[in-house]
Amino acid sequence: AQSVTQLDSHVSVSEGTPVLLRCNYSSSYSPSLFWYVQHPNKGLQLLLKYTSAATLVKGINGFEAEFKKSETSFHLTKPSAHMSDAAEYFCVVTSGVAAGNKLTFGGGTRVLVKP
Amino acid sequence: DVKVTQSSRYLVKRTGEKVFLECVQDMDHENMFWYRQDPGLGLRLIYFSYDVKMKEKGDIPEGYSVSREKKERFSLILESASTNQTSMYLCASSLRLDLGEFSYEQYFGPGTRLTVT
Cβ within 8 Å, pair B110-A100 = no
Report which secondary-structure segment, H or E, holds B61. none
Contact of B48 with A102, CB cutoff 8 Å: yes
Cβ within 8 Å, pair A49-B104 = yes
Contact of B45 with A102, CB cutoff 8 Å: yes
- Report the distance separating Cα B44 and Cα B37, nearest Å: 6
Beta carbons within 8 Å of A6's beta carbon, 6+ residues apart: A21, A22, A23, A89, A90, A91, A106, A107, A108, A109, B42
Distance from CA of B7 to the nearest CA of A (A): 14
In this prediction, residue B40 carries a pLDDT of 87
- Report the distance separating Cα A44 and Cα A90, nearest Å: 9
pLDDT tens per residue across span A26-52 = 987 888 899 999 998 888 999 999 987
AA identity, residue B52:
V
Contact of B33 with B43, CB cutoff 8 Å: no
Tell how strand B31-38 and strand B42-49 pair up.
antiparallel
pLDDT tens per residue across span B22-80 = 999 998 999 999 999 998 899 999 999 988 989 999 999 999 999 999 999 999 999 99
> Residue A42, Cβ neighbours under 10 Å: how many?
13
In this prediction, residue B99 carries a pLDDT of 59
Residue B101 pLDDT level (bands cut at 50, 70, 90): low
Quick one: average pLDDT of B87-99? 86
In this prediction, residue B2 carries a pLDDT of 63
Strands (E), chain B: 4-6, 10-13, 19-25, 31-38, 42-49, 56-57, 64-70, 73-78, 87-94, 107-108, 112-116
Q: How high is the mean pLDDT of chain A?
A: 92
Is residue B105 over pLDDT 90? no
For an interface test with A, the pick among B27, B104, B112 (most A C-beta atoms closer than 10 Å) comes out as: B104
Cβ within 8 Å, pair B102-A96 = yes
In this prediction, residue B12 carries a pLDDT of 97
Beta carbons within 8 Å of B84's beta carbon, 6+ residues apart: none
For an interface test with A, the pick among B102, B103, B113 (most A C-beta atoms closer than 10 Å) comes out as: B102
Is residue B1 over pLDDT 70? no
Is residue B98 over pLDDT 90? no
Contact of B110 with A42, CB cutoff 8 Å: yes
Which residues of chain A have a pLDDT value below 70? 98
